């Protein structure tokens, strides 16, 4: 009974409170018009939008009046910027409630959810890749691996960790106790047994081990790896390349307190600048260069969000890399006018490094790079929470390359029997023949002289064609019409 008696009083108090608020709005707006206080600036302009006007009731249907008044009130509320800012601060930092895609953790740490950075969703195992997506990922990695080898290169897919996988101890208590089957774990399982299993590397294990030893590897209020984390990505990449294919690659050491030779840029090394918390890299011998054939130019107006290149004299490997801001944002050169100080912590085993930021490789872009640069190493990097967003660059060429990579070897000799085979042709330094409109054409002939496959070949330093399935009697021969190549090779598989 007491509760029933209190209810009218509570309703009346609530109504009085909101009537007071509405009256205060009118009074404060009159005060602003008369004396300029409070300031009419509401913060809407900073949100880059036009404030909602007073509703035109004559034009609006009555069902929309409430929403229109609400929109006007929200944008016209005195002290709106301060009130909204205070509300967000209390809700996010004091009550620890998510705000949009941002989720508060311990010690000022912020995580992301949903959209294009679903790190919390992925940590909880809320995203299932599905058989088709897992098959697509496996096909893409296999196709890229076979494609790169056909072009005289090695391919490496580098999957970098996200904050919650490395520092779950800072996540909300409702989240950190519930790790699930992340998309990384699903993709690791999908790649088992593939011939390209070692061509995709996951760095979460190394990062988590370092975090458990007390290292902080991400900026607290940003999704990027910090300076040390950035160095660890490069170091892991170089170590993988050194272990798998290129033992001559050297290490760029990281220093908590760099020696003078490193601080002055005289010796290779990296360290965190205590003022900016960015990674300072010393890489003697390398210098930023343009690469007009690959659309890499000095464009300080758009830098740092542009492709870049560093080069040094002497022998070394050529590297072409697609990556996101993980590998550039934490560098001390990430600033307007910073191209001249760009340095990459990959040691002195390379003599040409071209880096293309954002997006992912396409076959057309890889063709362009192979024709102009002829890299020895091709690397693509992306964060693990984007696995669930699907593959990029999987096309018919990569599907044919993957099928060729999976196929068993077959002798291209006279004792072979007539049947169906898979064919791949590779070329070095192919040029077009003389005369306008004449482009090189690759032709495959069988033992009886029958033409069993043809495909155009663009001029360039390195080219390869995956013909797919052909039918005929070995031995098969490769011929180039309308052009010539310094070297050519035909490989047959079943």
Q: Determine the pLDDT at residue 94.
A: 53
pLDDT digits 0-9 by tens, 223-252: 999 999 999 999 999 999 999 999 999 999
Alpha helices for 36-152 (secondary structure H): 65-76, 80-89, 119-123, 130-150
Burial class (CB in 10 A: 0-12, 13-18, 19+), 145: buried
> Which residues share a beta bridge with 382?
159
Contact 391, 133 (CB under 8 A): yes
- Tell how far CA 197 is from the center of its chain: 20
Model's pTM, two decimal places?
0.82
Nearest-angstrom CA–CA distance, 469 and 238: 37
pLDDT at 70: 76
Strand 154-160, strand 200-202: pairing:
parallel
Yes or no: say if 237 and 156 are a contact pair by the CB < 8 Å rule. Answer: yes
Helix 2-35 to helix 65-76 angle (10° resolution) is 60
Q: Which has the closest alpha carbon to 294: 223, 366, 358? A: 366
Are the CB atoms for 271 and 280 separated by under 8 Å?
Answer: yes
Strands 460-472 and 419-432: antiparallel
Give the burial class of 32: count Cβ atoms within 10 A of its Cβ; 0-12 exposed, 13-18 middle, 19 or more buried: middle
Residue 164: predicted pLDDT: 95
Name the stretches of the chain with pLDDT < 70. 1-7, 21-22, 25-26, 28-29, 31-33, 36-50, 76-98, 435-437
Contacts of 173-179 with CB under 8 Å at 24 or more apart are 175/103, 175/120, 175/123, 175/124, 178/124, 179/123, 179/124, 179/125
C-alpha 315/C-alpha 351 separation (Å) is: 6
Q: Judging by beta carbons within 10 Å of its beta carbon (0-12, 13-18, 19+), is residue 242 exposed, middle or buried? A: middle
pLDDT confidence of residue 78:
56
Q: What is the pLDDT of residues 44-94, one digit of tens each?
A: 545 556 677 888 888 888 888 888 877 877 776 655 555 555 555 555 555
The two three-digit tokens of residue 186, written as one number: 């699903």
For the chain, the distance separating the N- and C-terminal CA atoms, rounded to the nearest angstrom, is: 86
How big is the CA angle at 359 (ends 220 and 190), to the nearest 5 degrees?
Answer: 85
The answer to whether 419 and 445 have CB atoms below 8 angstroms apart is: no
Pairing of strands 460-472, 377-383: unpaired
Q: Which residues of 439-453 are buried (b: 16+ CB within 10 A; e: fewer)?
A: ebebebbbbeeeebb
């Amino acid at each position: 009974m007491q509760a029933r008696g209190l209810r009218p009083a509570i309703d009346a108090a609530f109504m009085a409170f909101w009537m007071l608020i509405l009256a205060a709005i009118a009074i404060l707006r009159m005060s602003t018009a008369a004396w300029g206080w409070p300031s009419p600036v509401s913060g809407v302009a900073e949100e880059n939008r036009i404030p909602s006007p007073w509703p035109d009731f004559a034009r609006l249907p009555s069902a929309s009046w409430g929403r229109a008044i609400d929109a006007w009130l929200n944008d016209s509320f005195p002290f709106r910027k301060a009130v909204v800012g205070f509300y967000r601060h209390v809700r996010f930092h004091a009550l620890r409630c998510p705000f949009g895609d941002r989720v508060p953790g311990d010690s000022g740490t912020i995580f992301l959810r949903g959209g294009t950075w679903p790190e919390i969703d992925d940590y909880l195992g809320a995203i299932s890749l599905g058989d088709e997506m897992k098959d697509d990922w496996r096909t893409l990695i296999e196709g890229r691996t076979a494609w790169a080898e056909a072009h005289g290169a090695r391919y490496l897919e580098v999957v970098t960790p996200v904050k919650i996988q490395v520092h779950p101890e800072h996540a909300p208590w409702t989240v950190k106790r519930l790790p699930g089957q992340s998309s990384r774990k699903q993709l690791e399982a999908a790649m088992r047994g593939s011939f390209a299993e070692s061509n995709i590397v996951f760095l979460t294990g190394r990062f988590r081990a370092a975090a458990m030893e007390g290292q902080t590897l991400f900026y607290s209020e940003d999704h990027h790896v910090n300076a040390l984390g950035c160095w660890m990505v490069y170091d892991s990449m170089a170590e993988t390349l050194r272990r798998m294919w290129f033992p001559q690659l050297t290490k760029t050491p990281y220093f908590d307190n760099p020696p003078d030779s490193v601080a002055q840029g005289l010796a290779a090394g990296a360290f965190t600048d205590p003022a900016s918390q960015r990674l300072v890299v010393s890489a003697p011998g390398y210098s930023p260069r343009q690469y007009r054939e690959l659309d890499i130019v000095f464009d300080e107006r758009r830098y740092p969000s542009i492709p870049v290149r560093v080069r040094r004299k002497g022998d070394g490997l050529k590297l072409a890399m697609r990556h996101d801001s993980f590998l550039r944002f934490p560098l001390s050169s990430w600033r307007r006018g910073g191209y001249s100080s760009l340095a990459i912590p990959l040691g002195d085993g390379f003599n040409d490094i071209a880096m293309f930021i954002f997006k992912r490789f396409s076959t057309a872009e890889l063709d362009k790079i192979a024709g102009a640069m002829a890299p020895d190493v091709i690397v693509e990097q992306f964060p693990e929470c984007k696995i669930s967003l699907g593959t990029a660059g999987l096309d018919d060429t990569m599907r044919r390359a993957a099928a060729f990579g999976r196929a068993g070897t077959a002798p291209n000799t006279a004792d072979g029997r007539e049947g169906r085979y898979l064919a791949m042709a590779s070329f070095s330094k192919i040029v077009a023949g003389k005369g306008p409109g004449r482009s090189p054409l690759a032709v495959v002939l069988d033992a009886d002289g029958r033409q069993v496959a043809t495909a155009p070949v663009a001029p360039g330093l390195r080219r390869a064609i995956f013909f797919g399935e052909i039918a005929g009697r070995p031995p098969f021969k490769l011929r180039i019409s309308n052009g010539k190549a310094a070297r050519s090779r035909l490989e047959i598989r079943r």
